[in-house]
A and B are shown apart, each in its own frame.
Chain A
Amino acid sequence: MRLQNFTKGLWTELPVLRVLLGFCPTLAVTNRAENGLVMGLATTFVLFFSCTLISIFKKLIPHRIRIPIFIVVIASFVTIVDYLLAAYYWEMHKVLGIYIPLIVVNCLILGRVEAFASKNPVGDSMLDALGMGVGFTLVLVVLGSIRELFGFGTIFSHQVIGKPYEPMVLMIIPPGALLSLGLLLGLMNLIRDRMEGRR
């Protein structure tokens, strides 16, 4: 097991911002930091268990039908998350609603399963899935915080900007998602270029 499999998900192969995967949930649910956090954790759950299971049974999975099998496994874990959220976290289940079933088609998950878990040892696959999940969650929380800050004046529902501030509705509707994601991507590229330039 190499720790690098975990840390690469946090920087060099950071989902969304470095490896441009998983845009749909990123754009859809990040109007509040809390929504981003729960979406990120739900995705991490699905990613971790799918990768672990598939890595364990990788030798038994017939190569020609591996994609349908991956999708069945991923969809099962997504449905489990959906039931558990509805049972234990009803309010959040109402907010995320349709976006939970859509984790099935988050290409980040199928991408990790196909490109990593089905070819690497179990321990490495678990680390890889955790790293990617944590990285994805971080991005969603950062983006959610930015949008919530400007759109509601709060972060995690705590008042940050005082009363006279008129919230920018633009930031909580879809155009705000595209704008802030674009600016964040540009910022990341700037940071990367600076770091590489100094080396």
Chain B
Amino acid sequence: MREIIALSLALAFVCLLSAFSLSFVYQHSKPLIERNREGELREAVEKVLPGAKVEYAPLTSGRVFEALNSSSNLIALYKGEKDGREVYAALISVKGYQGAIRMLIGFDPGASEILGVEILEHAETPGLGSRIEGESFLSQFKGKLKPKYDTITGATISSSAVIRGFVNAMRAVMGGER
């Protein structure tokens, strides 16, 4: 009995030391990690909404938010302004071949126009599914919503996942205005 208590105390002491040193490193690196994460998002938002002034506080209400939230797996929605028009950047998640694909769609609901699509994060097969990041695939989404989009040969599952996610989200937002 006495030995069990002694051993438990020794282990608890080691864990305590570990917790202290980890909290020290965490305090130090947390602001840097958050800055990295935000920088990455900002860079992507600037790509899908070129030249727009964007507020980086995520929206939690409004018609566009309701439409996206009920139709897709919406992570965050940001609102911006470009040439006096309301534009949005929606971060949505779709199920890919090997895990979630997080993609950002920039659009102008008033003009029913898509301004740009970027892939933020994915775990698709390198060399095959990862081609969904390519400009040649993503540029087809710009402009008006089309009835049909091209998949990528050799990456059918990954590219159709992106197309499905995109079409679902954009139909919900723009469908009512046609």
Contact = CB atoms under 8 A, between A and B. Distances in A.
Interface of A: 31, 62, 64-65, 68-69, 72-73, 75-76, 79-80, 83-84, 86-88, 90, 94, 151-152, 167, 169, 172-173
A79 B40 CA distance: 22
B57 interface: no
B22 A80 contact: yes
Contacts of A167: 127
Nearest to A60: B10
Nearest to B36: A90
B126 A62 contact: no
B11 to A, nearest CB: 6
Contacts of B29: 83-84, 86-87
Contact of A86 (B6, B7, B33, B125): B33
B10 A87 contact: no
A172 B130 CA distance: 12
Interface of B: 6-7, 10-11, 14-15, 18, 21-22, 25-26, 28-29, 32-33, 36, 40, 121, 125-128
Nearest to A31: B126
B19 to A, nearest CB: 9
Contacts of A172: 126-127
B25 A80 contact: yes
B32 A69 contact: no
Majority-rule SS of B interface residues: helix
Contacts of B126: 31, 151, 169, 172-173
A31 B125 CA distance: 11
Among A62, A83, A151, A152: residue with most chain B CB under 10 A: A83
A194 B15 CA distance: 49
A65 B127 CA distance: 46
Given A83-B26, A83-B33, A86-B36, A76 B21 contact: yes
Given A64-B7, A167-B127, A88 B32 contact: yes
Contacts of B6: 62
B132 to A, nearest CB: 15
Contacts of B33: 83, 86-87, 90
Nearest to B130: A172
Contact of B14 (A69, A151, A173): A69
A76 B127 contact: no
A69 B127 CA distance: 42
B18 A73 contact: yes
Among A76, A151, A152: residue with most chain B CB under 10 A: A76
Among B26, B40, B127: residue with most chain A CB under 10 A: B127
A124 B133 CA distance: 48
B22 A90 contact: no
A139 to B, nearest CB: 21
A62 B26 CA distance: 29
A44 B22 CA distance: 19
Contacts of B18: 72-73, 75-76
Contact of A169 (B25, B121, B128): B128
A76 B24 CA distance: 12
A64 B121 CA distance: 44
A80 B40 CA distance: 22
A93 to B, nearest CB: 8
B22 A87 contact: no
Contacts of A83: 25-26, 29, 33
Contact of B11 (A31, A69, A79, A88): A69
